[in-house]
């Protein structure tokens, strides 16, 4: 299988995985921002994320309460780094295997 087919297949897999990770993050923030049944629909929280190197912390603040999750793996950063590594490696292989053009020698 040609290298660019493999790179394209890897890119498709990474983009689909990134789509689902972002959908999950969107669901979490929309759920946290919605009114909750525990307090008769009156409790609302302001969700936010704090990012570190390959880590993420989810916090919800509101109604005098602040809830924070432990630091978890940030899959968005990991998928983007993997995407860059795969495409960088493929570019390196293509450039390494490229034959230099022979110089044109004018007739004497």
- Is residue 72 assigned to a domain? yes
- Is residue 104 assigned to a domain? no
- Is residue 107 assigned to a domain? no
The C-alpha angle with vertex 70 and arms to 68 and 67, in degrees rounded to 5, equals 10
Structurally, how many domains does the chain consist of? 1
Cβ contacts of residue 27 below 8 Å, gap of 6+? none
Structural domain span for residue 13: 3-97
CA dihedral 28, 30, 33, 37 (to 10 degrees): -80
- pLDDT tens-digit map of 41-73: 666 778 888 888 999 888 888 777 788 888 888
pTM summary value: 0.72
- Is residue 103 assigned to a domain? no
Could you tell me if 57 and 64 are in contact, meaning their C-beta atoms sit under 8 angstroms apart?
Answer: no
């Amino acid at each position: 299988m040609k290298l660019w087919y493999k790179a394209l297949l890897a890119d498709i897999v990474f983009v689909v995985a990134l789509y689902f990770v972002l959908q999950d993050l969107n669901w979490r923030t929309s759920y946290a921002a919605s009114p909750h049944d525990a307090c008769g629909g009156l409790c609302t929280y302001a969700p936010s994320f704090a990012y570190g190197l390959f880590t993420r912390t989810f916090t919800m603040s509101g109604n005098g309460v602040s809830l924070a999750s432990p630091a978890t793996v940030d899959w968005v950063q990991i998928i983007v780094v993997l995407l860059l590594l795969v495409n960088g490696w493929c570019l390196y292989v293509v450039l390494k295997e490229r034959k230099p053009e022979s110089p044109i020698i004018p007739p004497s």
